[in-house]
Amino acid sequence: MGRTLFCLLMLCMSAAPVAAQRSPQLAACRDHRQALRDELADIQRRQRNIGLSALIMLGGETVVAENLGYADLENRVPVTNETRFGVASITKAFTGLSLLKLHEAGRIDLDAPIQRYVPAFPVKPGGVITPRLLAAHLAGIRHWGPERNAALYARHFDDVNDVLALFKDDTLVAPPGTKASYSSYGYNLIAAAIQSAPA
């Protein structure tokens, strides 16, 4: 999210969310609709997105609904309110929240070796990989590689443990805890730990 967009959203939400104060908040947001649209267009341009859809609401009322770019670039089909996007890395937020809920319930120790929950994942030289390090992208697990292709996208995994074969034998990109390295596979490993957490 761009800094300007963040500041505009904070301006919209700055008053306490009391029903009596919602009207001034909505008025402030309405006054900044064009600035919000301009910022979304700037994000679309800077990120070189093919398509973007955004909805900003406050108190159940739509402030801005913006569709930019294409749902299908080759056929020049524009993004609409009906366009379906892949959820992709948004699922990392759900995985992280699930991990924290299990930790709060005493079912996962964030600082235990990952092998406590996923014994099939081999111990790596250079340090211990923990759920905490995985969640922070500090475990040294690589991200996608050349295997990310149409065949992989067409494949269905019934069990998250089946994904481990794609990366479990790979060398770490850095010793655990030493370097931030974004990794979807790291979150697959967290998901495997969540799946096997004791009841």
Between CA 160 and CA 167, with CA 163 as vertex, the angle to 5 degrees is 140
d(CA 87, CA 68): 18
What pLDDT sits at residue 20?
43
Q: Has residue 137 got a pLDDT over 90?
A: yes
In the structure, what pLDDT confidence band is assigned to residue 18 with cuts at 50, 70 and 90?
very low
Nearest alpha-carbon partner for 160 in 102, 108, 117, 113: 117
pLDDT tens digit sequence for 76-116: 999 999 998 877 788 999 999 999 999 999 999 999 999 99
Number of folded domains that form the chain: 2
**Crossing angle, helix 33-47 and helix 3-13, to 10 degrees?**
150
Compute the mean pLDDT over every residue in the chain, rounded to the nearest whole number: 87
Give the global pTM: 0.66
CB 59 within 8 A of CB 26: yes
Tokens 């979304």 map to which residue? 40
What is the residue range of 71's domain? 3-85
20 and 66 both lie in a single domain: yes
119 and 67 both lie in a single domain: no
pLDDT tens digit sequence for 51-76: 999 988 887 888 899 999 999 989 99
Segment 24-36 mean pLDDT = 83
pLDDT greater at residue 13 or residue 168: 168
Q: Has residue 146 got a pLDDT over 60?
A: yes
Q: What share of the chain is helix, strand, coil (3-state, %, to 5)?
A: 45, 10, 45
How is residue 37 written in tokens? 């649209």
Helix (H, G, I), strand (E, B) or coil at 153: helix
80 and 93 both lie in a single domain: no
What pLDDT sits at residue 47?
86
101 and 175 both lie in a single domain: yes
H or E element, residue 39 = helix 33-47
Last residue in a domain, options 85, 118, 144:
85
d(CA 1, CA 170): 33
In the structure, what pLDDT confidence band is assigned to residue 8 with cuts at 50, 70 and 90?
low
Last residue in a domain, options 85, 112, 145:
85
